[in-house]
Amino acid sequence: MATTVLVTGADGFIGRNLVLYLASRNFKVIAASRKVSDFKHPSVISAPLPDLAMPFDWQPLLEKCDAVVHLAGIAHRFADQERYNLVNHLATETLANAASRQGKHLVFVSSIAAQSGSFSEVELTEDAAPNPTNAYGRSKLAAEQSVRAAGGFFTILRPVVIYGQGEKGNFSFIHKLSGLPIPLPFGALTARRSVLSVENFSSAVVLVLTEPRARGELFIVSDPTPLTVPDLISRRRATLVRAPWLVPIPENWVKVFFAAAGWTGLWQRIGKPLIARPTKLLALGWKPILSDSASDLMSSPRK
């Protein structure tokens, strides 16, 4: 009998990709979200979710599934600390307690932001003490602690920034820049950052759903090879059949320009390092679909 997985936040970039990935691998999926989507797949049924800042009884949905992948939450938009706490932390706590009572395996998708700020001068590992630097990261860390405290079957994933069709944030910005038919002044940037394809993320979810040793564990999820901004731009432009056209402007000059433009936060996310390798997940037997993110990165041109 096929395993039925409840995926919350199924209407988002990651959720839509995950739902279809699971369905293609013989899982039955309950795709739950505030905006109900029709996935047009025989193994997928859709279910509505309310605003998770309000109290919600998870039991009816949990009775229909064998496991839960909890993606729903607030990210990539402004929210105050109270709303982050209500949606990312307390709603997860309620779900974790309900899943524990019913003996369901909960895969909680946290974030590398629960462990670190937007950059780190040291390589991040699961054993390092978490040090979130904003309300989003603190709400994710608090949710992780609630998942553990619930006493049920759980796996916690801390993905780095995720790219793929429909991505948001830093990758969307780099795509737009890379698509411009002009030279870009980033050729001298050397900071490496861990990234994650949405396909690799989905394959990691399948592994922890099916591998008993993943229960009770926390995993960083990233592509095995960290990349630089010049790597990202070069490979994106290659898909457009263009030369990299990167000018090696000194890094400090680029940093000063970003500061003058009021883009200090953006500079920290693309000009500073953040390496978080999936060593623990690989040791569990994870085989990324894209074993080297540089090989297929941004492989489909976008308009």
Mean pLDDT by 10 residues, the chain (303 residues): 92 94 96 89 94 93 97 81 93 97 98 94 95 94 98 97 79 81 91 94 97 97 93 86 90 90 87 95 91 43 34
pLDDT confidence of residue 50:
92
| Pick from 228, 186, 203, 209: nearest CA to 278 | 203
pLDDT confidence of residue 279:
97
Round to the nearest angstrom and report the end-to-end CA distance of the chain.
42
pLDDT confidence of residue 293:
43
CB atoms within 10 A of CB 209: 20
Where do runs of H (alpha helix) occur along 34-134? 59-62, 81-84, 91-102
Note the pTM of the prediction, 2 decimals: 0.91
pLDDT confidence of residue 296:
46
pLDDT confidence of residue 105:
98
Q: Where do the domains of the chain lie, and which CATH numbers do they carry? A: 4-164+197-222+276-291 (3.40.50.720)
What whole-number distance in Å separates Cα of residue 124 and Cα of residue 193? 11
| Pick from 130, 166, 138: nearest CA to 74 | 138
Q: What radius of gyration do the chain's Cα atoms show?
A: 19
* 245 φψ region: left (φ > 0), alpha (ψ -120 to 50), beta (else): left
Pair type for strands 217-221 and 67-70? unpaired
